[in-house]
Amino acid sequence: MSRLLALIVCLLVAAPAAATEAGWALLREGGQVVLMRHANVTGTHDSATVDPEDCTTQRNLSERGRQQARKIGSLFAARSVPIDRVLSSRYCRAFDTGRIAFRDNDIEKAEALDPPPADEAGAAARKEAMMEIIRGFTGSGNLVLITHLENITALTGAGAREGEAVIIGERGEGLHVLARIVFN
């Protein structure tokens, strides 16, 4: 019985590592689109009067989140991952994740990567705006889009932990997850 438990634990630990290595292999090749959820934040909700341009109205990176962003940047650099472009939500937690992690790249703010509006039509328009960015990418490096859980779920049907990278590919009319990289 204890051997079975040990085997199960080994498989659970090895599976994320294998998934992460597959992700790094894709990124080293270039030409990939990466949806990255912002790093760890303080609190659980933004204020009711959130303003994307005012960090005092939003949840911001925690110290753990800043450390996580530095680790993300160090790993991208250590693995010589080519980056063509980094776009970020206008929200401070996403922009700061990009600024800390990808300090050698210009970080462009894109409203399309902000959390989706509450209304169905607005959410659909936001999703389409993100799809236009993804479909329009033709670089030989990688496109990194730093965004929020709701957008990653809307595009892929999958979730992502804070600071997790999801490498995506087109399948028919939608997107699917090719690989993940966990930075925790």
Which residues does 103 contact at the CB level (< 8 Å), separation at least 6? 73
| Cβ atoms of residues 18 and 35 within 8 Å | no
Phi and psi at residue 43, in whole multiples of 5°?
A: 70, 180
Q: Does the model's pTM come out above 0.75? A: yes
H/E stretch holding 78 reads helix 63-78
Which residues does 55 contact at the CB level (< 8 Å), separation at least 6? 92
| Cβ atoms of residues 73 and 103 within 8 Å | yes
Per-position DSSP letters for 23-45, written without gaps between them:
HHHHHHH---EEEEE---BSSS-
Q: pLDDT tens string for the chain (184 positions)? A: 556 544 444 434 434 444 578 899 999 999 999 999 999 999 888 877 889 989 999 999 999 999 999 999 999 999 999 999 999 999 999 999 999 999 988 999 999 999 999 899 999 999 999 999 999 999 999 999 999 999 999 999 999 999 999 999 987 778 999 999 988 7
Q: For the chain, which domains are there?
A: 2-181 (3.40.50.1240)
Q: Which region, left, alpha or beta, applies to residue 89 given φ > 0 means left and ψ of -120 to 50 means alpha?
A: beta
Pairing relationship of beta strands 142-147 and 83-88 according to DSSP bridges: parallel
State what percent of residues in the chain have pLDDT above 70: 89
- Condensed to tens digits (0 to 9), the pLDDT of residues 12-53 reads 443 444 457 889 999 999 999 999 999 999 988 887 788 998
